[in-house]
Structure 1
Amino acid sequence: MSASLLTIERARKAFGGLIAVNDVSFDVGAGELLGLIGPNGSGKTTMLNLISGALSPTSGRIMLAGQPIGGLPAHKIARIGVARTFQLVRVLPSMNAIENVVAGAVFGHRRVWGDEAVDLARDLLARVGLKGREAVPVAAMTYIDQKRIELARALASDPHLLLLDEWLAGLNPSELQTGIDLIRQLNEQGRTIIMVEHVMDAIRSLCHRCVVMSSGIKIADGNSSEVLADPEVVRAYLGDDDA
């Protein structure tokens, strides 16, 4: 693996008596595309929330390129270089497509303004399949197109680390293949990505390595094909349909 970009050491998040993330540790190498998988309620989204600053860890350390980020406000972590999409899409509903993406350029890691931000947003919208729809209000867009907007907005900040929370969920087969190809291209261009995903075909296709969580605990970490064949992982998550 290349040098670690993200280091997580014994991260824990407790909500009263519920421990959603229980002393989880793993590294993500620069340029790596890591799959973070597990059954519903296993703590995957909570882990992304800890990395992105939506939640503060109860204990443990989270570092980006050696800089502690655990517990910092989300906007500061975004400026340092972490961007994300959400399991439930979050767009700026009063704005159109290009304005949503420009917001990512202005407030993200690599702050871009004016015509440069507009040009960047236009290029990113084309990249995610929304060329010619720059002026469409996002409130009038389909759920799938709103997901595309959210990804373009995350990319507009030029993050060191991109977090994708079930970005492929809900896509039809042709959209799914397009989405897989797009994520692969982003990674091949050097983007470090953690993807939380239930679409196992995408994990197998895209991720050389994956981390598996179950009930807040890391139960596996390694080569995706080996991990997905692990009997404990099959029992905890995949089940007969996906094994």
Structure 2
Amino acid sequence: MTATPLLAVKGLTRRFGGLVAVDDLELTVRNGEIVGLLGPNGSGKTTALNLISGALKPDSGTVALRGGLIQGLAPFRIARLGVARTFQLVRVLGSMTCRENVLAGLAFGTSNEWGSRAEANADALLDRVGLTGRSTVMTTELTYIDQKRLELARALALRPQLLLLDEWLAGLNPTELLQGIELVRSLRSDGIAILMVEHVMDAIRSLCDRCVVMNAGRRIAEGTPTSVLADPEVIRAYLGDSDA
């Protein structure tokens, strides 16, 4: 018997007026797996993450985590069940230090940690993402990649089983990109499964076990990075008919 996937999305649909942003989407993520969610701009990828994480409610379809339905639950309830995420536009708490940002995740996540133990764990998470010694730095003083690192540390503070990354590697220079890829890869050893929206194909090829490709809200391909990136329908979705 096939084991129940960590995440199972079936028939997921969300409309905005006459626009069907996500149209009957199906995908799975298994324990310890890294799955890429690909597609051209406007294909519905971020909307799909918003539906999985509870930021939006679906018009129809189901989202199951470890076999239990979570679609329509409040985002904080889904987070406490083991789903964390980062955002396409980095969202750090600008009036706080790095440590205080991570403490917010520890306090309101699955562990509800407070006090000196939480501070020690927050500093350990900052170390984990490459922000050693930056615990008292205000977030407004951080570089772009360090803000991304901080947002990731705060997501990890929720102790997730599933991490949703929305273009976390976008906008990095070549050196930062290599560092970011290694950091994401290392999360697998912590037992974290990842569903990542990404346009950086070097990262997709390097990190992903499988990819699901969307276009105009629908899934058009699924398979290994090599197979989906060679699929004529995927090439057509990215480049248009004349280049397919």
Q: Please confirm whether the aligned pair reaches a TM-score higher than 0.5, indicating the same fold.
A: yes
Amino acid across the alignment from 1:49: N
Separation in 2, partners of 1:143, 1:189: 25
Q: 1:235 to 1:78 in 2, by over 3 A?
A: same
Identify the residue that residue 166 of structure 1 maps to in structure 2.
167
Identify the residue that residue 48 of structure 2 maps to in structure 1.
47
Q: Which string of whole-angstrom CA distances, capped at 9 and with x for unpartnered residues, describes residues 99-129 of structure 1?
A: 0011111111232222221111111111211
Identify the residue that residue 176 of structure 1 maps to in structure 2.
177
Determine helix, strand or coil for the equivalent of 2:6.
Answer: strand
Separation in 2, partners of 1:178, 1:119: 24
The equivalences for 1:96-111 within 5 A come to: 96-111=97-112
Identify the residue that residue 234 of structure 1 maps to in structure 2.
235
Separation in 2, partners of 1:156, 1:17: 39
Separation in 2, partners of 1:230, 1:193: 23
1:189 CA drift (Å):
2.7
Q: Which string of whole-angstrom CA distances, capped at 9 and with x for unpartnered residues, describes residues 25-73 of structure 1?
A: 1111111100001000000000000000100001100110111110111
Identify the residue that residue 224 of structure 2 maps to in structure 1.
223
1:238 CA drift (Å):
6.0
Identify the residue that residue 194 of structure 2 maps to in structure 1.
193
Q: 1:166 to 1:238 in 2, by over 3 A?
A: farther
Give the CA RMSD over aligned residues.
1.6
Q: Is contact 2:50–2:56 with CA below 8 Å preserved after alignment?
A: yes
Q: Is contact 2:4–2:67 with CA below 8 Å preserved after alignment?
A: no
Separation in 2, partners of 1:124, 1:192: 18
Identify the residue that residue 215 of structure 2 maps to in structure 1.
214
Determine helix, strand or coil for the equivalent of 1:24.
Answer: strand
Amino acid across the alignment from 1:15: F
1:140 CA drift (Å):
2.1
The equivalences for 1:10-49 within 5 A come to: 10-49=11-50
Could you list the runs of 4 or more consecutive aligned residues of structure 1 that deviate by over 6 angstroms after TM superposition?
A: none
* Structure 2, gaps ≥5 residues long: none
Q: 1:211 to 1:223 in 2, by over 3 A?
A: same
Q: Is contact 1:2–1:30 with CA below 8 Å preserved after alignment?
A: no
Determine helix, strand or coil for the equivalent of 1:49.
Answer: helix
1:148 CA drift (Å):
0.8
Separation in 2, partners of 1:217, 1:110: 36
Identify the residue that residue 140 of structure 2 maps to in structure 1.
139
- 1:127 paired with 2:135, answer no
Amino acid across the alignment from 2:82: G
Q: Is contact 1:169–1:199 with CA below 8 Å preserved after alignment?
A: yes
Separation in 2, partners of 1:127, 1:237: 35
Q: TM-score, normalised by structure 2?
A: 0.95
1:2 CA drift (Å):
5.7
* Structure 1, gaps ≥5 residues long: none
